[in-house]
Amino acid sequence: MAQPRHRTRTVGVEEELLLVSSRTGEPLALSSAVLASAAGEEAGDVFEKELHQEQLEFATRPVADLGALRDEIVRWRGEAGRHAEGVGGQVAALATSPLPVRPSRNLGRRYRWLAERFALTADEQLTGGCHVHVSVESDDEGVAVLDRIRTWLPLLTAISANSPYWQGEDTGYASYRSRVWYRLPSAGPYEPFGDAAGYHARVRDMLDTGVLRDQGMIYFDARLSHNFPTVEVRVADVCLEPDTTVLVAALIRGLVETEARAWRAGVVVPRVPLDLLRLAAWQAARSGTEGPLLDPRTLRPVPPAAALDALLAHTEAALRDTGDLDRARATLKDLLTRGGGARRQRALREEGMELGEVVRACARITTDAGRS
* Average pLDDT, integer, range 24-39: 96
Comparing CA positions, the residue from 69, 56, 81 lying closest to residue 132 is: 69
Per-residue model confidence (pLDDT) at position 2: 43
d(CA 220, CA 233): 8
* Residue 5 within any structural domain of the chain: no
d(CA 9, CA 329): 20
pLDDT tens figures, 190-214: 999 999 999 999 999 999 999 999 9
Per-residue model confidence (pLDDT) at position 7: 84
- Res 315 pLDDT > 60: yes
* Residue 110 within any structural domain of the chain: yes
Q: Characterise 288 by phi-psi region: left (phi > 0), alpha (psi -120 to 50), beta (else).
A: left
d(CA 294, CA 154): 9
- Res 336 pLDDT > 60: yes
pLDDT tens figures, 135-150: 999 999 999 999 999 9
* Residue 2 within any structural domain of the chain: no
In degrees rounded to 5, what are phi and psi of residue 12?
Answer: -140, 155
For residue 141, give the amino acid letter: E
Per-residue model confidence (pLDDT) at position 53: 96
- Res 5 pLDDT > 70: no
What domain count does the chain have?
1
Mean pLDDT, the chain, integer? 95
* Average pLDDT, integer, range 8-37: 97
* Average pLDDT, integer, range 170-188: 98
In degrees rounded to 5, what are phi and psi of residue 27?
Answer: -60, 140
- Res 175 pLDDT > 80: yes
* Average pLDDT, integer, range 357-361: 98
d(CA 137, CA 195): 14
Cβ(49)–Cβ(35) under 8 Å? Answer: yes
**Pairing assessment for the beta strands 169-170 and 11-21 based on DSSP bridges:** unpaired
Per-residue model confidence (pLDDT) at position 231: 98
- CATH of residue 52's domain is 3.30.590.20
Domain that holds residue 172: 11-371
- Res 369 pLDDT > 60: no
pLDDT tens figures, 55-85: 999 999 999 999 999 999 999 999 999 999 9
d(CA 330, CA 317): 16
**Other CB atoms within 10 Å distance of the CB of residue 179:** 18
Per-residue model confidence (pLDDT) at position 127: 97
- Res 372 pLDDT > 70: no
Give Rg (Cα) of the chain.
Answer: 19
Cβ(269)–Cβ(250) under 8 Å? Answer: no
Per-residue model confidence (pLDDT) at position 191: 97
* Residue 94 within any structural domain of the chain: yes
- Res 312 pLDDT > 60: yes
pLDDT tens figures, 219-266: 999 999 999 999 999 999 999 999 999 999 999 999 999 999 999 999
Give the confidence band of 368 by pLDDT, cuts at 50, 70, 90.
confident
* Residue 4 within any structural domain of the chain: no
Per-residue model confidence (pLDDT) at position 107: 86
- Res 1 pLDDT > 80: no
